[in-house]
Amino acid sequence: MTESLKFGIVGAGNIFKSAHLPHIMAAEDMSIVAICDINEERAKTLAEEHGIPHVFTDYNEMLEKCPEINALDICTPNLYHSKVAVAGLKAGKHVFCEKPDAVNPEEAQKMADAAIESGKMLMVMRNNRFTPASQYLKRYIEEGHMGDIYTGRCGWVRRRGIPGKGGWFTNKELSGGGPLIDLGVHFIDLAIWLMGNPKPIAVSGATYSKFADNELSDSIHSKFGEKQADGVYDVEDLATGFIRFDNGATLQIEFSWASNVETGMNFVELRGTKAGSSIRNSELEIYSETAGQLVDIKPVLRKDSVGGHGRNILHFADCVLRGESPIFEPEQGVNMVKILTAIYESAETGREVRL
């Protein structure tokens, strides 16, 4: 059994600095051996600030020259997730990767296959599964209190919150798409996980790009990425859709970086035969009936200073170091990317896409 995780970091941007670095540095059984970024100055600055001994601009060189690394943490633009993950797994490293899994199902499948062939752990960030509301609701559902969950809806809408406009976020070649692949992976995944991971069989969707020339921002999320005034904006800023599953259940979706709504909100709403539930901006409510009356339940949930990102990284460590059963399976990631890709295809063709 591995005694500690010695990470090689690939990608030293904002998501690594804000959501990964603090939790790795705070853990007694995790450390950072090397950091790699195409922006060498950025990687050197982080290395000097946090005592990271090695800096690289090529992850293959890092893997070759730092054999003590036993895990990779991937925080690159989406296009490179699969390439780096497969290289790491083939080199015998465990891999933790930021979402989304990949930019298409073929690349996601390569990651899943490499994990099986290597026998190493592959986990992709699913931080919303680890919030107090999600953890409570998952147990509530598994104990049978909601009955048969047959439909739901989920989304994340922002009024003005386009990340890194003109940078890699808004460049389809690098990102794979706009808010559907950026935000949709969060709450489509959470809804499907809470529903018991039914298999998706068909989707339909529509996408819109209406705010490419709008410079207003009311969201901290627009600070992610690196804005480029002369950059590319060839992705959607709003996506809607509908997913059918093999058990007859359905899910409506809506994701936007910018749209004329009252306020930004993320949500997962589920309807069951015994109860319904709603998680809105991390606040959970349950709607049921007791003793002949309709009742609304608002659980008093524990406070969590670590947060979903940190809990997910700690869970990865528990799986690798202590043999805990992973909450995420790579095949779930393949199905997720199939859904996202099919919604984009449906938006282009105007037809339902069978999976």
**119 and 144 co-located in one domain:** no
**155 and 223 co-located in one domain:** yes
Residue 247 sits in which domain range?
A: 129-308+336-354
The pLDDT > 70 percentage for the chain reads 99
**117 and 155 co-located in one domain:** no
DSSP state of 230: T
pLDDT at 153 over 80: yes
Q: What is the CATH number of the domain that holds 70?
A: 3.40.50.720
Confidence tier at 219 by pLDDT (50, 70, 90): confident
| CA gap 30, 42 in Å, rounded | 22
Beta strands 265-272 and 276-280, pairing class: antiparallel
Query: What's the chain's average pLDDT?
Result: 96
| CA gap 155, 266 in Å, rounded | 6
**77 and 104 co-located in one domain:** yes
**318 and 296 co-located in one domain:** no
Instruction: Please give the pLDDT value at position 1.
Output: 58
| Count of beta carbons in the 10 Å neighbourhood of residue 220 | 9
Tokens of 159: 């009024």
Apex 191 CA angle, 190 and 197, nearest 5: 90
Instruction: Please give the pLDDT value at position 222.
Output: 79
**301 and 319 co-located in one domain:** no
**197 and 279 co-located in one domain:** yes
Measured in Å, how far apart are the chain's first and last C-alpha atoms?
39
**253 and 141 co-located in one domain:** yes
Provide the number of structural domains found in the chain.
Answer: 2
DSSP state of 67: T
Question: Which residue in this structure is represented by tokens 């606040």?
Answer: 283
Could you read off the pLDDT of 48-99 as tens digits, one per residue? 999 999 999 999 999 999 999 999 999 999 999 999 999 999 999 999 999 9
Q: What is the mean pLDDT of residues 171-191?
A: 97
pLDDT at 322 over 70: yes
